[in-house]
Amino acid sequence: MSIVDLQIRHDFGRFALDVKASSAGPVLGIFGPSGSGKSTILNAISGFVHPQHAHISIMTRTVCRTPGGTVVPPHRREVGYVTQDALLFPHLSVRGNLAFSPRCLGLDSLGGKRVLDVLRLAPLLERRVQELSGGEKQRVALGRALLSQPQLLLLDEPMSALDSRLAREVLALLMEVKRTLQVPMLLVSHQESEMAALADDCILLENGRIAAQGPPLQILARPGRLGGLDNILRLEVARHEPERGITWLVLPGQQQLAMPLSTAAAGQTVSVGVHADEIILCRQRPEGLSARNVVRCLVDGLGAAGTDSLVRLKLGELRLLAHVTHAAVEELGLQPEGEVFAIIKSNSVIRLAV
Amino acid sequence: MTPAELEIVWLTLRVGALSVALSLVPGVLLGWLLARWNSPLRALVQGVIMLPLVLPPVVTGYLLLKVFGVRGPVGSAYDVLFGGRIAFTTAACVIAASVVGFPLMVESIRLSILGVDRRLEQVSRTLGRGRLGTFARVTLPLALPGIVGGSVLSFARSLGEFGATIILAGDIEGETRTIPIAVYSALNAVDGEAAALRLVLVSVVISLLSLLAAFAFMRRQRTQVA
């Protein structure tokens, strides 16, 4: 069953939106640069924008058919809406926010307790929303949306206002929500890592049109797409070091890669991502470094990426892209087949769901 | 203060309170409309509401007399239906005070509703609250300080209302003789200055306290979004 069916045509004058898509989810990602029409699609689904020509169904129920058909008002569409600003009601407590919806599951009901559990909201209930940290606010916003029993949860850049540590925490929560509560979601994001970690199906939106649809790894790895999660690797788990919070992955050439402690069993193969921006290159093996990973590689090729350089590294069969400045390439004297050390913080190695 | 002067003060406070009570519901509705309604007509509506703020109060009073006077449309209809008149009664004082204080109230409410983040209203809609439920549970509580502040401000304005009142309500002891009108007649009377001074003092104190209260409420408007 499709979680959402979209047919939207709307002419804004300077920009026209024309999309037709359907997805079985359970998590559909919409990926694209700002101004590509992502927010308009969300507003059309939630009912705050009525496109000139539209046929929108949520879980096969038609909520908008224009011109001339039914247009269900936003409060009857049963969508949850979480944006980058938590948008908590400032005059209500955490409990008041969570219980705001007339469709709200009782906080003491079985389902309500599960939501509170997964999002660790119980200790926050009596707090004022002004006293919450950014991550806590986002947890409350997520809980408020989930407790209203949405047919579809709309996530509009839910992590982009948080610093990277909190963003990772919220991402982990969303993955947990997906796993345990099984709510269909529509995630709008411009972060490849979030998309690859959460979405099962992905739409690439460009200038108001759908450029591609498919599994995120396939869509995000399209040639010419750069600047995000450029390295997606499938590696075997070697061992865990719980006391140091590290999981070691097997790399070719008897090397290992450290990542934050994972639940995957030793011997299991996992997908991880590394941003090309977060790889530092070094000619000699550095000493006394806080970063866990110093990986010996060979330069496989050099390319230009706008004003910067892209260095392709090889370790056996593996390829890694590193994004550095032209100046760095010259100063390091990088040559194909030359030896180089890639420095990667363990926290920069992101576990992906797929 | 003499018992007569106390009665004047009491009448003035009553007129002010009644005028706020009369204006409050239309004031909130119009403030909301002006804050949230996108139409070319909005400027016109806003202009008409603001008019009493800039018109000479005597002109406002004259126009009101044309409407509420015995030969005016409302005044004559009232006579037919209930028998009696509106002009030159306490009701006329209340009407004059309401009309003159209304722009201050509406503007203050409009600004406070503008200060409510629309996205909070949208979140409320997606959570299942309709337009009215959202207004009652989100917009109204968040705009409340501005609504109370605007009410107190229009109350303060009504305390000083003279021009429109003297035309529409005249100077009838115990019925329409509010503080400003009493001060005016006292100053015209022989030996009235002492009485006028006492009323002036009371007027200054009540007005100042009302203004301070209005500002205190308006400052409490919560503009930040969590």
CATH code at position A261: 2.40.50.100
A204 shares a domain with A106: yes
A76 shares a domain with A42: yes
Is the pLDDT reported for residue B51 higher than 90? yes
DSSP per residue, chain B: --HHHHHHHHHHHHHHHHHHHHHHHHHHHHHHHHHH---THHHHHHHHHHHHHHS-HHHHHHHHHHHHSTTSHHHHHHHHHHSS-STTSHHHHHHHHHHHHHHHHHHHHHHHHHTS-HHHHHHHHHTT--HHHHIIIIIHHHHHHHHHHHHHHHHHHHHT--HHHHHHT---TTTT--HHHHHHHHHHSTT-HHHHHHHHHHHHHHHHHHHHHHHHHHHT------
Last residue of a domain, one of A220, A239, A273: A220
A261 shares a domain with A177: no
Residue to mutate among A85, A93, A103, A151, with most B CBs inside 10 A, is A85
Q: Is the peptide bond before A90 cis (omega within 30 degrees of 0)?
A: no
Q: Is A246 a domain residue?
A: yes
Q: Which residues contact A63 (CB under 8 A, 6 or more apart)?
A: A45, A47, A56, A57, A70, A71, A72, A77
For residue A295, give the DSSP letter: E
Which token pair is B162?
């003279």
∠ Cα B163 B166 B172 (to 5°): 155
What pLDDT is stored for residue B48 in this prediction? 92
Last residue of a domain, one of A170, A195, A220: A220
Contact B123 A81 (CB under 8 A): yes
Q: Is A149 a domain residue?
A: yes
Contact A73 B125 (CB under 8 A): yes
pLDDT grade, residue B225 (50/70/90)?
very low
Nearest of A39, A37, A1, A33 to residue A19 by alpha carbon: A37
Asked whether this complex has an ipTM greater than 0.95, the answer is: no
A323 shares a domain with A243: yes
A238 shares a domain with A185: no
CATH classification at residue A28: 3.40.50.300
A106 shares a domain with A238: no
A186 shares a domain with A43: yes
Positions of chain A with pLDDT lower than 50, given as ranges: 223-227, 354
Contact A87 B127 (CB under 8 A): no
Work out how many domains chain A is built from and give that number. Answer: 2
Which token pair is A61?
């129920």
- Rounded Cα distance, A57 and A304, in Å: 44
Break chain B into its structural domains and give their ranges.
3-219
pLDDT grade, residue B124 (50/70/90)?
very high
What pLDDT is stored for residue B68 in this prediction? 94
What pLDDT is stored for residue A69 in this prediction? 84
Contact A100 B124 (CB under 8 A): yes
A210 shares a domain with A69: yes
A189 shares a domain with A269: no
Q: Which one has a higher pLDDT value, A181 or B98?
A: B98
Q: Is A226 a domain residue?
A: no
What pLDDT is stored for residue A305 in this prediction? 60
Last residue of a domain, one of A220, A248, A278: A220
Rounded to a whole number, what is the distance in Å from the CA of B147 to chain A's nearest CA?
16
Q: How crowded is residue B34: how many other Cβ atoms within 10 Å of its Cβ?
A: 20
A188 shares a domain with A265: no
Which range of residues forms the domain containing residue A292?
Answer: 231-352
Amino acid at B166: I
A16 shares a domain with A108: yes
Contact A83 B119 (CB under 8 A): yes
Chain A residues with a Cβ under 8 Å from any Cβ in chain B = 46-48, 73-81, 83, 85-91, 100-103, 129-130, 132, 137, 144-145, 148, 154
Residues of B in contact with A145 (CB under 8 A): 126-127
pLDDT grade, residue B221 (50/70/90)?
low
What pLDDT is stored for residue A207 in this prediction? 84
CATH 1.10.3720.10 corresponds to the domain B3-219: yes
A270 shares a domain with A240: yes
Which token pair is B14?
């009553």
- Rounded Cα distance, A78 and B212, in Å: 45
Contact B122 A81 (CB under 8 A): yes
Average pLDDT over residues B9-24: 94
SS3 percent helix, strand, coil of chain A, rounded to 5, is 25, 40, 35
Contact B126 A74 (CB under 8 A): yes
What pLDDT is stored for residue B226 in this prediction? 45
Q: Is A32 a domain residue?
A: yes
